[in-house]
Copies of this chain bind each other. A is one copy, B any other.
Amino acid sequence: MDFFYYPQPLADLIAAFSRLPGIGPKTAGRLAFYALQHADEATGLSKAISAALKDIRYCSICGNYTDSDPCRICSSPKRNREILCVVEQSRDVVALEKTGEYKGLYHVLHGVLSPMEGIGPEQLNIGGLLSRLEGVSEIVIAVNPTVEGEATALYLARLLKPLQIKVTRIAHGLPVGADLEYADEVTIARALEGRRPL
């Protein structure tokens, strides 16, 4: 008896969806059937993927994703060119931009130092950082406070200190709205350590 599951193009589509992160076989099946039933949206997704892969590249200055080189931030005349904020990835730039508080430029490292995964300084966009320090008075290190992030922040601080540039680290402490009672010890320790006069 030959039982029948999916016609090949549908099986391929399910497999393609299930290769995306966080999408298991059940969800992939649901998405594939949805795509077949909503041809317009599915075609839109297919075209959006092609267009993004074709048009999005790294900014040659800051390393952020952009469709024009240099990117809109690096080429904006309204930005303060004396401050550079160093982040791990493009998404962190968006998170910072959403605050509307930061007016300087960015530098995207594309990762953090991780000897376990074989990521050393050469694998990161650190050479690009060193080559754009002229006129920069402060570097704000905004990598995430993981073990690797801390190691990267220390590495950068040591690298930049001799160049007479002020190196700062964004504050870690209690998130706004969080309860002291439920915060973890490391966060509370960081909040105490970073206390400021009122």
Contact = CB atoms under 8 A, between A and B. Distances in A.
Name the residue among A41, A42, A45, A50 with the largest chain B CB count within 10 angstroms: A45
A78 interface: yes
Chain A contact residues, majority secondary structure? helix
A5 to B, nearest CB: 6
Given A44-B16, A90-B33, A91-B33, A9 B56 contact: yes
A67 to B, nearest CB: 4
A36 B125 CA distance: 17
B100 A1 contact: yes
Contact of A12 (B31, B51, B65, B93): B51
Given A2-B76, A19-B44, A49-B13, A71 B34 contact: no
Interface stretch (A21-29, A134-142, A175-183, A189-197): A21-29
Contacts of A43: 49-50, 53
Interface string A62-103: 000111100111001010000000000111011001101001
Number of identical monomers bound together in the oligomeric complex: 2
Given A4-B72, A7-B68, A7-B71, A46 B44 contact: no
A20 B34 contact: yes
26 contacts: A2-B78, A3-B97, A4-B72, A7-B67, A8-B67, A9-B55, A9-B56, A10-B65, A12-B52, A13-B48, A13-B49, A16-B49, A17-B45, A19-B45, A20-B31, A21-B31, A22-B27, A22-B30, A33-B91, A36-B56, A39-B53, A42-B49, A43-B50, A45-B46, A46-B47, A46-B50
Interface of A: 1-10, 12-13, 15-17, 19-22, 27, 29-36, 39, 41-56, 65-68, 71-73, 76, 78, 89-91, 93-94, 97-98, 100, 103
